[in-house]
Amino acid sequence: MVTAALIPARKGSKGLPGKNLRVICGKPLIDYTILTALEILDPSLILVSSDCKDIINRGKNLGTNTIFRPNEFATDNSPIIDTIFHAINFSFEKSDQKVESIILLQPTFPIRNTFELKEAIKLFKDKNLSSLVSVTKMKEHPSECVSIYNNDQSKWNFLVDPNYSTNRQDYIGDHFFISGNFYIADIEYLKKNKGFFSQETRFFETNNIYSVDIDNQEDFNYAKYCFEMINKF
């Protein structure tokens, strides 16, 4: 089974305009994900999809395939699955190699463990899975979290009934957060389910201590701090 990587990188962002080209420790944000992909896959199996010429050029300069994403697939409200299908239809299906699955690597998650990615791809293939998604253990248990509706503090509830667990030891390992590190799926599965999640989905726990998914300036600043810490060692 041949697995290809898709790196979707829009030029726009409400939370942090131009974030994919913002520089962290000497490199544009997009470069970190491209360079990680190059450590796990052949360049011919890596595709950068973007509506930004500068991002497209970053992909070309680093040796990957690129595809220009139409505007209708590059808005804030565009579902990522549409970008995936666009890439599949115009690139992967025309590849010299028969691509049967993809790993989605979003550039907003710049710090990844390549060993874990290789292990995840191996697990996906060895177990003949249809969908595999990265998760991390939740630090907060949902029975200690509340939802407040429309900022009206008289309308709230626990995410999970606090009576679900009687002591904190019961919390460990029960709940996981979908981290955004990676998503892997069989292409036929994606066409059938229109996404990565179904009862067939399985999960891969990652242990990245510098996990950060950049959506706003605060996230960006934290990612910069993480890189500075990593570079110290």
Question: pLDDT per residue over 15-28, tens digit each?
Answer: 899 999 999 999 99
**DSSP-assigned beta bridge partners for residue 111:** none
Question: Which two three-digit tokens encode residue 196?
Answer: 């990565």
pLDDT in tens, 98-128: 899 999 999 999 999 999 999 999 999 999 9
Average pLDDT for 54-78: 91
Tell me which long-range contacts 194-199 makes (C-beta under 8 A, separation of at least 24).
Answer: 194/81, 195/81, 196/104, 196/131, 196/133, 197/131, 197/133, 198/130, 198/131
Q: Can you tell me the mean pLDDT for 33-43?
A: 97
| pLDDT tier for residue 14 given thresholds of 50, 70 and 90 | confident
Position 160 confidence tier, pLDDT thresholds 50, 70, 90: confident
pLDDT exceeds 70 at position 93: no
pTM for the whole thing? 0.91
- Between the CA of residue 82 and those of 69, 74, 77, 195, what are the distances in Å? 10, 9, 11, 10
DSSP code at position 68: E
> Region 35-63: what's the mean pLDDT?
96
Chain centre distance of CA 32: 13
